[in-house]
């Protein structure tokens, strides 16, 4: 991302330390694989493995037992192939004209979601005389990518004319994170009916939330993403083990007099004498600006000196303020670290304060941290 070798940024030169626990990532995959057996548990590693680092995270998932992986883009597939020569790799975002040879040369499988894409792959396979594998994506209610159900029915009726290996039939759940949502029930029924038209073709419907929704959703292969990385995938279930820890460095500790304001826009006012720690990170590092606070709304918290303390004032590009008034006077000094994400503060808690989702938090965390991978 942006050409920066993030792991190479020295700790002393960074505003924070981002630690990726590959052991927790592997444990989360094994947990899900056990829950969905006998279905195969794949792994979604798009978005730089949800911000944790594509190559290292994919290797950890492979070592844990994942043999099928999904990315969004062809460029991600090529990176992944370089580290996992034996993996089955699907590219989710469709087939573009002129990329067919790259798919063949890198042994990647396009996920075909339209009749023109199917025609393109069929023509390429005919031209090279080789029925290469691909997945077929059917839309069952997401209205994002995928064939319309009527198109899938028509394709099933002429299946013998398909000029490539149909290796997987898939769809994507839109509301499985909301237990009992009627669209989820409808999508399951529609996908089951479509899958019946393609006997012998492995079928896949479940994302992370689908994995936790019971065996009816598992079919032959599941595709967990956010759950692997410690995010909450269903509103009624606790997340799995946290994978990412984020510690931010204290740049300065300062006193604020009663009545003085803190940060841009004078959004927060000290109602009494305060002590604040200025942390060396901000929205340029992927921390949502809305996670700050004002006189009318609370914000996120961080843990420092063993205690939760609230952020105070607006988060700026490179800095934020933490209210440490409740701590002993000598408890915090410049150079100390405050934990914004970790075992006690998950990505979904920070996301809630930032009025976003855990996915966005993980995939936005940054280019300027010192990274520890282990």
- Please give the full DSSP string across 170-184, using - where no structure is assigned: E---SSTTSTT-HHH
Residue of 78, 103, 229, 264 marked active site: 264
Co-location of 212 and 151 in the same domain: yes
What phi, psi does 167 have (nearest 5°)?
Answer: -90, -20
- Burial code of 82-119, b = ≥16 C-beta within 10 A, e = fewer? eebeebbbbbbebbeeebbeebeebebbbbbbbeebbe
Domain with 164 in it: what CATH number?
A: 3.20.20.10
Same domain, 40 and 165: yes
Final residue belonging to a domain, choices 174, 206, 229: 229
Catalytic: 283? no
Considering 229, 263, 286, which residue would you say is the last residue of a domain?
229
Q: What is the pLDDT at residue 374? A: 82
Q: Are residue 97 and residue 125 in the same domain, yes or no?
A: yes
pLDDT value of residue 335: 96
* Residues 180 and 257 placed together within one structural domain of the fold: no
Residue 264 among the catalytic residues: yes
The pLDDT value recorded for residue 6 is: 53
In the chain, which stretches have pLDDT less than 70? 1-7
Last residue of a domain, one of 180, 199, 229: 229
Among candidate residues 46, 90, 229, 369, the one labeled active-site is 46
Q: 294 with 199, same domain?
A: no
pTM: 0.94
Q: Does the residue 6 lie in any domain? A: no
- Between helices 22-36 and 54-64, what is the axis angle to 10°? 50
Considering the domain architecture, whether residues 110 and 160 belong to the same structural domain is answered as yes
Residues 147 and 291 in one domain: no
Q: Are residues 224 and 260 in the same domain?
A: no
Report the pLDDT value the prediction gives residue 161, as an integer from 0 to 100: 85
Domain assignment of residue 47, given as a range: 22-229
- CA separation for the pair 98, 95 (Å, rounded): 9
Phi, psi of 273 (to 5 degrees): -55, 135
Domain count, the chain: 2
Residue 190 and residue 250 share a domain: no
């Amino acid at each position: 991302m942006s050409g920066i070798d993030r792991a190479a940024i020295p700790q002393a030169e960074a505003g924070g330390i981002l630690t990726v626990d590959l052991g927790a990532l592997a444990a989360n995959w094994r947990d899900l694989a056990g829950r969905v057996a006998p279905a195969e548990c794949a792994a979604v590693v798009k978005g730089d493995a949800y911000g944790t680092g594509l190559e290292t995270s994919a290797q950890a998932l492979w070592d844990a037992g994942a043999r099928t992986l999904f990315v969004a883009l062809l460029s991600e597939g090529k990176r992944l192939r370089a580290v996992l020569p034996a993996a089955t790799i699907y590219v989710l975002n469709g087939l573009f004209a002129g990329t067919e040879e790259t798919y063949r040369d890198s042994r990647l499988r396009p996920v075909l979601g339209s009749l023109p894409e199917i025609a393109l792959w069929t023509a390429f396979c005919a031209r090279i005389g080789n029925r290469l594998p691909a997945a077929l994506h059917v839309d069952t209610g997401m209205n994002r990518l995928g064939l319309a159900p009527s198109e899938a029915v028509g394709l099933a009726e002429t299946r013998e004319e398909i000029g490539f290996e149909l290796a997987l039939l898939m769809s994507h759940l839109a509301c499985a994170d909301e237990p009992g949502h009627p669209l989820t029930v409808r999508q399951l029924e529609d996908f089951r009916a479509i899958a019946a038209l393609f006997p012998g073709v492995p079928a896949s419907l479940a994302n992370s939330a689908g994995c936790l929704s019971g065996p009816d959703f598992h079919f032959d292969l599941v595709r967990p993403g956010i759950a692997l990385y410690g995010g909450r995938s269903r509103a009624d279930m606790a997340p799995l083990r946290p994978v990412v820890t984020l510690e931010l460095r204290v740049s300065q500790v300062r006193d604020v007099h009663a009545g003085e304001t803190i940060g841009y826009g004078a959004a927060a006012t000290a109602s009494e004498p305060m002590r604040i720690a200025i942390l060396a990170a901000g929205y340029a590092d992927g921390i949502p600006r809305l996670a700050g606070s004002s006189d009318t709304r609370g914000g996120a918290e961080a843990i420092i000196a063993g205690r939760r303390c609230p952020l105070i004032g607006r988060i700026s590009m490179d800095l934020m303020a933490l209210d440490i008034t409740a701590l002993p006077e000598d408890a915090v000094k410049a150079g100390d670290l405050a934990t914004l994400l970790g075992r006690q503060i998950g990505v979904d808690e920070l996301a809630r304060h930032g009025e976003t989702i855990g996915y966005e938090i993980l995939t936005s965390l940054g280019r300027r941290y010192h990274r520890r991978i282990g």
